[in-house]
Structures are given as C-alpha cells and as structure tokens.
Amino acid sequence: SQQGEEDPQALSIQEGENATMNCSYKTSINNLQWYRQNSGRGLVHLILIRSNEREKHSGRLRVTLDTSKKSSSLLITASRAADTASYFCATDTGSGGYQKVTFGTGTKLQVIP
C-alpha cells in the first residue's frame, strides 16, 4: 500500500472558489511536498514543508502539516481554470543519508470556468 493517501480522490469546483485537498501518511517524515501533474506530463513541484514547520504559503497556495495526526492539507485560493490538474502529496521518509520520496494516490481537481 502507498505511504500517502489524498482525499478527496476527485474535486470539481467553480472558478474563483477555494480548493482544499488532504493528505494522510503512515510513518514519520523528514518533509512533505506537494506536486501538480497535468495529464500525461511530468510532475511539477509546488511547495515543501519540513517536519518542524506547521504552515507554509506560496502565492495562492497554503499548506499545513500536523505531524501528530500524520496529515497535511493543500489549499488553493481563488481557483482558476488553469489549476485543473492532479495534485499529489509526497513524503520523504529516508534515513542514514538517504532521501526516499514516495507519493500518495492523488486528487484530481477540475475547475469549471
């Protein structure tokens, strides 16, 4: 089974609304990252939050991390049609000098113009 699981699996909203995606993971992490993937393309990094951080912002993105609950959320404010994509959380669980990054199952976001 995968380290991370996103919720919901799919989300459809109107342009201008906010979109919230959640990620739960199973083991302790060094950091958690969020990525975006347009259909059939490679992933693009959005934001990284370290295990000792609780919240981080980047433009219209806000990420929270609760290590006690092993969960994170990604908020996209004032969504645009161009935000339509799949979003994945990824966790770094490496140790001993190794960085091991594993991904969740993803949330497919559709923003309707």
Partner 1 sequence: DGGITQSPKYLFRKEGQNVTLSCEQNLNHDAMYWYRQDPGQGLRLIYYSQIVNDFQKGDIAEGYSVSREKKESFPLTVTSAQKNPTAFYLCASGLFAGELFFGEGSRLTVL
Under the rule (CB under 8 A), what is the footprint of partner 1? 2, 4, 30-31, 33, 35, 40-45, 48, 88, 90, 92, 97-106
37 membership: H or E segment, kind and range: strand 31-37
In the bound state with partner 1, the residue whose beta carbon lies nearer, of 78 and 103, is 103
Min dist. Cβ of residue 89 to partner 1 (A): 9
Amino acid identity, position 7: D
In the bound state with partner 1, the residue whose beta carbon lies nearer, of 79 and 91, is 91
Residue 73: Cβ-neighbour burial (10 angstroms; 0-12, 13-18, 19+): middle
Min dist. Cβ of residue 108 to partner 1 (A): 8
Min dist. Cβ of residue 45 to partner 1 (A): 4
In the bound state with partner 1, the residue whose beta carbon lies nearer, of 76 and 87, is 87
Is there a contact between 49 and 31 (Cβ–Cβ < 8 Å)? yes
Q: Is 78 left (phi over 0), alpha (psi -120 to 50) or beta?
A: left
Q: What is the rounded CA–CA span in Å between residue 68 and residue 35?
A: 23
Min dist. Cβ of residue 23 to partner 1 (A): 11
In the bound state with partner 1, the residue whose beta carbon lies nearer, of 45 and 57, is 45
